[in-house]
C-alpha cells in the first residue's frame, strides 16, 4: 500500500521561538590545529625559482605535479574565470583532498593561512594557502565569499537529471579527462578518483530564506592569484569552469570563459633541509576493537 499523503500544513509548537533561540556551538573548535608557519613559508618563497607552468584551456582541464616543499600558484590571466581544483597524493591516489573536513575545520571558504586537508584515514595537510589576492573580499551582504569548499563541481549527471542534457565540458568531465590522460588509463578507471573540489575564485554562499547554494559574479580580475605550499607530493588537476565567472550559469557554452595559469616554484634545497612533510594522522585505527 502507498503511504497516505502527508499534509503540508506547518504547525509550530508553543516553544518554537525558544528552540530557535538556542545559541550555536562550533562543531570543531580549531584553536588546537597545528598553525602553519607563514613567515617560514614566505622566506622559502622569496628565494624560490619557477620550474614549470601549465595553461588550463577555457572549458577544459589540465593536470600538474608539485613536489613536497614547492609552491604552486593559480592565476587568472585573460579574464574573470573560476576553477575547480582536485588534489591527490602523487604516490597514492587514495589520499585525496577532503573538502568536507576542510570545511568543518576552517569554514565554508578558505584563504591565507588555511589548509586543504586529505581524506581519511590520512587526514593531514596537503597544501597550505600562503597568498590570496582576494583575501580582502570577506563575507558580503548576501553571505557570499570566495574560494569555497561547499560546492561539488558541475557534472553531466546533474545536468542530465535537471535538464536531460549531455554536456561534456563540465568540470567533472574535464577533470576526468585530465586525470585519465595523466595516468594513461581509460576514462572509466579515472572517474572514481575525481572528487569534490576547491572552487578557486568562485563567489558562493547559501540563501538566507531557502538555504540554497548560490553563486554570483566572481570578484577575480586579471592578475589575481591563489598560491599554495605543497605539504606532500601532489598531483593536481584544475578545470577552467564552463561558467566563466559564474555570474549566471555553469555547464554552458554561453558564458565568456578564459584560461587559467598554474605555475610551480621551487625553493632551494638548502632552505628546505630542516623541513619535512607532515606525517599521516596518528589515530591507531583500532575503531574500538
The pLDDT mean for the chain works out to: 95
Summarised one tens digit per residue, pLDDT across range 90-123 is 999 999 999 999 999 999 999 999 999 999 999 9
Lowest-pLDDT choice from 2-6, 60-64, 280-284: 2-6
Q: Looking at residue 246, what is its pLDDT?
A: 94
Q: What are the cell numbers at 120?
A: 581519511
- Contact call for residues 86 and 175 (beta carbons, < 8 A): yes
Query: Can you tell me the distance from the alpha carbon of 237 to that of 149, in angstroms, rounded to the nearest whole number?
Result: 16
Reported confidence tier of residue 183, pLDDT bands at 50, 70, 90 = very high
Reported confidence tier of residue 268, pLDDT bands at 50, 70, 90 = very high
Q: Looking at residue 9, what is its pLDDT?
A: 77
Beta bridge partners of 54: 262
Reported confidence tier of residue 7, pLDDT bands at 50, 70, 90 = low
Cis peptide before 121 (omega within 30 of 0): yes
Q: Looking at residue 120, what is its pLDDT?
A: 98
Q: Looking at residue 10, what is its pLDDT?
A: 83
Beta bridge partners of 129: 228
Question: Could you tell me the CA-to-CA distances from 38 to 61, 69, 225, 229, 249 in Å, in that order?
Answer: 30, 13, 17, 10, 36
Query: Can you tell me the distance from the alpha carbon of 144 to that of 102, in angstroms, rounded to the nearest whole number?
Result: 18
- Contact call for residues 238 and 62 (beta carbons, < 8 A): yes
Q: What are the cell numbers at 154?
A: 558541475
Reported confidence tier of residue 286, pLDDT bands at 50, 70, 90 = very high
Summarised one tens digit per residue, pLDDT across range 113-167 is 999 999 999 999 999 999 999 999 999 999 999 999 998 999 999 988 988 888 8
Reported confidence tier of residue 250, pLDDT bands at 50, 70, 90 = confident
Q: Is the pLDDT of residue 1 over 70?
A: no
Q: Looking at residue 5, what is its pLDDT?
A: 60
pTM for the full model? 0.94
Amino acid at each position: 500500500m502507498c503511504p497516505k499523503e502527508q499534509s503540508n500544513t506547518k504547525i509550530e509548537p508553543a516553544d518554537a521561538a525558544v528552540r530557535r533561540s538556542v545559541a550555536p556551538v562550533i562543531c570543531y573548535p580549531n584553536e588546537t590545529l597545528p598553525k602553519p608557519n607563514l613567515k617560514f613559508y614566505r622566506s622559502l618563497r622569496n628565494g624560490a625559482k619557477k620550474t614549470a607552468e601549465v595553461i588550463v584551456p577555457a572549458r577544459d582541464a589540465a593536470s600538474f605535479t608539485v613536489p613536497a616543499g614547492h609552491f604552486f600558484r593559480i592565476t587568472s590571466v585573460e579574464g574573470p574565470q573560476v576553477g575547480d581544483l582536485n588534489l591527490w597524493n602523487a604516490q597514492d591516489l587514495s589520499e585525496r583532498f577532503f573538502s568536507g573536513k576542510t570545511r568543518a575545520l576552517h569554514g565554508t571558504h578558505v584563504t591565507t593561512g588555511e589548509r586543504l586537508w586529505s581524506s581519511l584515514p590520512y587526514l593531514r595537510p596537503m597544501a597550505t594557502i600562503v597568498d590570496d589576492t582576494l583575501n580582502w573580499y570577506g563575507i558580503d551582504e548576501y553571505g557570499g565569499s570566495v574560494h569555497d569548499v561547499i560546492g561539488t563541481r558541475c557534472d553531466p549527471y546533474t545536468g542530465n537529471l535537471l535538464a536531460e542534457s549531455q554536456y561534456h565540458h563540465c568540470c567533472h568531465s574535464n577533470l576526468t579527462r585530465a586525470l585519465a590522460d595523466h595516468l594513461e588509463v581509460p576514462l572509466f578507471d579515472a572517474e572514481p578518483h575525481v572528487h569534490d573540489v576547491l572552487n578557486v575564485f568562485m563567489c558562493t554562499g547559501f540563501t538566507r530564506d531557502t538555504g540554497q547554494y548560490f553563486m554570483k559574479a566572481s570578484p577575480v580580475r586579471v592578475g589575481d592569484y591563489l598560491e599554495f605550499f605543497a605539504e606532500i607530493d601532489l598531483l593536481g588537476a584544475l578545470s577552467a569552469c564552463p561558467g566563466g565567472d559564474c555570474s549566471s550559469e555553469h555547464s554552458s557554452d554561453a558564458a565568456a570563459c578564459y584560461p587559467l595559469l598554474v605555475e610551480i616554484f621551487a625553493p632551494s634545497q638548502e632552505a628546505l633541509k630542516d623541513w619535512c612533510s607532515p606525517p599521516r594522522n596518528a589515530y591507531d585505527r583500532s575503531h574500538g576493537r
